[in-house]
A and B are shown apart, each in its own frame.
Chain A
Amino acid sequence: MRKVTPIILTWEYPPRIIGDMAHHVDRLTKGLNKAKIQTSVVTCHDSPYSYERRSDLLELFWASNPVEPHISVITWCLTLNSEIERIVSDLYYSRNGEIDFLDVHDWHFVAAGINLKRALGIPFIFTVHSLEDQRSPKPTSPLSSCIRGLERMGANESDLVITKSDSMKEEIIKIHNIPQSKINVVPPTEKDWIKEIIKSYSKITTNKGE
């Protein structure tokens, strides 16, 4: 079976650590590399460099926000999405369109995932770490409603949703009303976590030509 080559979109990755997602994606990329999976990470950092090769199988692309300052996390994120689209498009054209899929972590770069899918036909997985309804002390506020709207787009327009637990799966179905069959539960605590992730990834590349 041909090996998958994921492009992971995440708003945090070491050395930029905001919460647990940076550690999670770091463990994920290390695990994928151990399994000899070539992985690219597109993330944000105000680094003077836009590219870093960390190992033979792991390359990082840093995006910095083209607009400064911002008035909210949403305007910051959504502006940055155009920069993410630029980086992934460059990869797409330099690889002659040979991109398997994107793995988009949480809502921050969902817009880029959707647009790249619609424009260039790149499938995307929406990996849900948490939902705005759980994170926000005011889930009905306009800010949280807007983030929930982006999560809904991600849940609906992605080709597959990956999440960490059955309870999170139930929450996603309850809030975003998507079919159970679209969600794979892959707990990162399991021994075969990476194996299961690769299985999910393979599902997308198998379906790609259909």
Chain B
Amino acid sequence: MLTPNVLMLAWEFPPRIIGGLAPHVYELSRALVKKGIEVHVATCDFPGAEAYEVVDGVTVHRVDSYSNPTPDFATWVAMMNVNLQREIAEIIASNDISLLHAHDWLVASASIGLKHMFRIPLVATIHSTEYGRRSGIHNDYQRMISSTEGWLTREAWRIICCSRYMAKEINSTLGVSETSIDIVPNGINNALFRVPINLEQLRSRFAQPNEKLVLFVGRLVQEKGVSTIVEAAPHLHGLNVKIVIVGEGYLKEELIRRVKELGLSDRVYVTGFLETETIRGLFRVADVCLIPSIYEPFGIVALEAMAGGSPIVTSGSGGLGEILEHDRTAVFVYQSPESLAGGIRKILNDHRYADYLRKEASKRVKSYEWGAIATSTIGTYMRTILEYTEAKWKPF
């Protein structure tokens, strides 16, 4: 059977990076190309980025997404899909594309329209659900997004998600049978965490040599449990720590205000946005990495901490519980400041225990290399093509 020529649709691709989707699509598409799959990526444009370029064998098509004025984000997404579809039609026709791969609801209507017009099968990766992101559906805006996710999963031949936790969530919130879902974890490029850099110099930007560096990296939103970190700080008396909170999000100002209110400005540093290379370096110099998420479909930050060699304290929520193992690759704690502080103490007070966690984590993270993830993804592609070709009835 011939390998498919794949067209991926994603609303972000480097250098346009909004969240974790951009690096995911970037690494996955490159790894697929290394395995002999022809991959095209259709995505939004970005200032300074080429409209058409080949990145490590991946053909990237960046489509004008901002020239139409729109009143709100949802309308922008709808117009972005119109623009994507207009441009992709020619790409599909001239590149013999045999499979579409959509990433999340943001590209649903373009993917579905193209599937019907060209009659080629569609695979959809659901990275997270609106229900999970918002801890429920509370208004019509969220209901519309959730309904779009449902539409995409109904139209896709197979669904990919990153963890058993997500498969259950997709099943319960969108009504998708678990037999239609393939679990393919997110991947990590371990080599990027071994690039020679001046770690001492980097560390000195964030903490004194005698301070233990406690790191959080993620969006500053409620679902990441970042507020618990600030509340845990007063429980760390007796320890000389610097808590470094990296990321942006709607909670940022509130966190800074609370740090001041608690009189912890010399102990907790909210950095805001940092360059990817700096963040990778921080994972390598941190004494503890905190992942206290309330909602985490997968938890790519866990792979990054493991690859960087930073011992992890985590809530173990969602996909984190599938990647990490208590007392082997991380310390699992409750979602309370006291428990989180207890986890930090456990690692900082016992160097041998911390080294054990590091060693076990570095072994475990090797199974998440992108090459392995690409192989699993190709499995889904081949199954889709085979089933689609042999199906007597096709739901065009």
A interface, CB within 8 angstroms of B:
66-72, 74-75, 78-79, 81-82, 85-86, 89-90, 93, 111-112, 114-116, 118-120, 141-143, 145-146, 149-150, 153
Task: Please provide the chain B residues from 67 to 95 with a CB less than 8 Å away from any CB of chain A in the complex.
Answer: 67-72, 74-75, 77-79, 81-82, 85-86, 89-90, 92-93
Please pick, from B69, B74, B151, the residue contacting A142 in the complex, using a CB distance under 8 A.
B69
Q: Which 10 A-B pairs have the closest CB atoms?
A: A142-B71, A118-B89, A145-B69, A78-B78, A82-B113, A149-B68, A119-B89, A119-B117, A86-B116, A85-B113
A123 and B140 CA atoms in complex are apart in Å by: 37
A71 and B143 CA atoms in complex are apart in Å by: 10
With a CB–CB cut-off of 8 A, which chain A residues contact B81?
78
B interface, CB within 8 angstroms of A:
67-72, 74-75, 77-79, 81-82, 85-86, 89-90, 92-93, 109-110, 112-114, 116-119, 140-141, 143-144, 147-148, 151, 396
- A72-B71, A74-B78 known; A82+B141 contact, CB < 8 A: no
Nearest-Cβ distance from residue A117 to partner chain B, whole angstroms: 9
Please pick, from B67, B75, B89, B113, the residue contacting A74 in the complex, using a CB distance under 8 A.
B75
B117 touches A115 (CB 8 A): yes
A67 touches B82 (CB 8 A): no
Known contacts A118-B90, A146-B79; 4 further A-B pairs (Cβ under 8 A): A75-B75, A85-B113, A112-B113, A119-B114
Could you name 7 residue pairs across A and B whose Cβ atoms are closer than 8 Å?
A: A67-B147, A74-B70, A78-B78, A85-B113, A115-B82, A119-B93, A145-B70
Nearest-Cβ distance from residue A120 to partner chain B, whole angstroms: 6
A68 and B70 CA atoms in complex are apart in Å by: 20
With a CB–CB cut-off of 8 A, which chain A residues contact B110?
82
Nearest-Cβ distance from residue B42 to partner chain A, whole angstroms: 13
B78 touches A79 (CB 8 A): yes
A149 and B74 CA atoms in complex are apart in Å by: 16
A78 and B113 CA atoms in complex are apart in Å by: 11
Q: Which of A68, A79, A81, A114 has the most chain B CB atoms inside 10 A of its CB? A: A79
Closest residue to A73 on the B side, CB-wise? B75
A85 touches B116 (CB 8 A): yes
A143 touches B109 (CB 8 A): no
Nearest-Cβ distance from residue A143 to partner chain B, whole angstroms: 5
Please pick, from A69, A72, A111, the residue contacting B82 in the complex, using a CB distance under 8 A.
A111
Closest residue to B90 on the A side, CB-wise? A118
B117 touches A89 (CB 8 A): yes
Nearest-Cβ distance from residue B221 to partner chain A, whole angstroms: 21
Q: Which of A81, A112, A115, A150 has the most chain B CB atoms inside 10 A of its CB? A: A115
Nearest-Cβ distance from residue A138 to partner chain B, whole angstroms: 11
B75 touches A68 (CB 8 A): no
Nearest-Cβ distance from residue A163 to partner chain B, whole angstroms: 23
A68 touches B396 (CB 8 A): no
Please pick, from B119, B140, B148, the residue contacting A93 in the complex, using a CB distance under 8 A.
B119
With a CB–CB cut-off of 8 A, which chain A residues contact B71?
72, 74, 141-143, 146
Q: Which of A78, A93, A150 has the most chain B CB atoms inside 10 A of its CB? A: A78
Nearest-Cβ distance from residue A159 to partner chain B, whole angstroms: 16
Closest residue to A77 on the B side, CB-wise? B78
Closest residue to B146 on the A side, CB-wise? A67
Closest residue to B77 on the A side, CB-wise? A75
A149 and B90 CA atoms in complex are apart in Å by: 21
A120 and B85 CA atoms in complex are apart in Å by: 13
With a CB–CB cut-off of 8 A, which chain B residues contact A69?
140, 143-144, 147
